Each structure stands twice: as structure tokens, then as C-alpha cells.
Amino acid sequence: MSLTADNTVEVTIDSTADSIVDITIDTTIVITVDITADITADTAVDITVDTAINTVVDTSVDTFIDTSAHSIVYTSVGTAVGTDIDSTAVITIDTTVDITLDTTVDHYRHHYRHHHSQHCRQHYRHHFIDINAPHHNNRCGVMYGRISHYIRRTAPSLR
């Protein structure tokens, strides 16, 4: 007798004896007992599912992972009259998640903008040009060309 991964008890009887075999299955644990799908009835074999007679099943070592994203790991071993019940279900759950956080691009983008913004302020402060105007848009090269052209043509003394 064994417990499958979907919590179904499968009972297999391999006997040619004419005597009645009594099997008691403890249903106090949370499992589904299905004796109609896997067992062919025989008049010489009497299978009884009795919830009044409890076979001791130690569930203290059972592990339940209460997470919707994981399966339940359930392990229990019990013994009934004349038959061993091995309801061990082993499920391996790999929850390893490798996360690589690459902040290189954002770091250098911030450094580039900060550096060139400071550079523009220092370089053009004495020209009284507002480098933070909306048309500037942190593009030092464009503004440098326009400013240089303006200085060369109209204000040589500011160079």
C-alpha cells in the first residue's frame, strides 16, 4: 500500500490465499483514499476502511510548505494489519533564484550628466549664459558650438 504524489492511497494485494485479509487504513490524516480505481474486488479479499479504528501514524515529522507557488511536501509512514503502508512522497523544490542587478549604466549616466553639468557651469559662468534654460537640455556640445560661434563673432574680448 502506498501514497502517490496526488495523495491517493494505492493498495496492491498479491495473495492466492482463500482467507479473508483485513486491511485498516487510517483516514485521520489529510489524504484521499481511493479503493475503487486500483483494486478489483474479490470475495476472498475483504478491504475495510474504518475511521473508528485508528492506526497510529506519526505526523510530527511531516513538513508542510504553505505557499501557493510551491507543492506540499508530505511524508508519513504507518502500518496496518498484515500490510505495510508506505506513504512516503518525496518532492524536491528548488527555490533558488539568481538575481543580477546591473547599475553600471545608470551610474555612469548620472556621473556623465553631473560632470558635464558642473563643467558647463564653471566654463560658461563668466559669460552670463543660463545653461539650465530649457533649450540647453544638458547638451554641452551643442551649446558650446553656439556659444563659441557667438563669442568669436560678437565678443572676442570674452574668449
Are 27 and 51 contacting, i.e. CB atoms less than 8 angstroms apart? yes
What is the residue-wise DSSP string for 45-70? Answer: BEEE--SSSPPP---TT------TTS
Is 62's pLDDT higher than 50? no
At residue 11, the 3 state secondary structure works out as coil
Average pLDDT, the chain: 50
Rounded Cα distance, 88 and 2, in Å: 8
What's the grid cell of residue 112?
556623465
In this predicted structure, what is the pLDDT of residue 45? 46
In this predicted structure, what is the pLDDT of residue 20? 56
Is 6's pLDDT higher than 60? yes
In this predicted structure, what is the pLDDT of residue 118? 52
Helix 104-124 × helix 140-154 angle, to 10°: 10
Pairing of strands 83-86, 77-80: antiparallel
Region 137-145 average pLDDT? 48
Rounded Cα distance, 114 and 119, in Å: 8
Predicted TM-score (pTM) of the model is 0.12
User: Which is more confidently placed, 112 or 9?
Assistant: 9
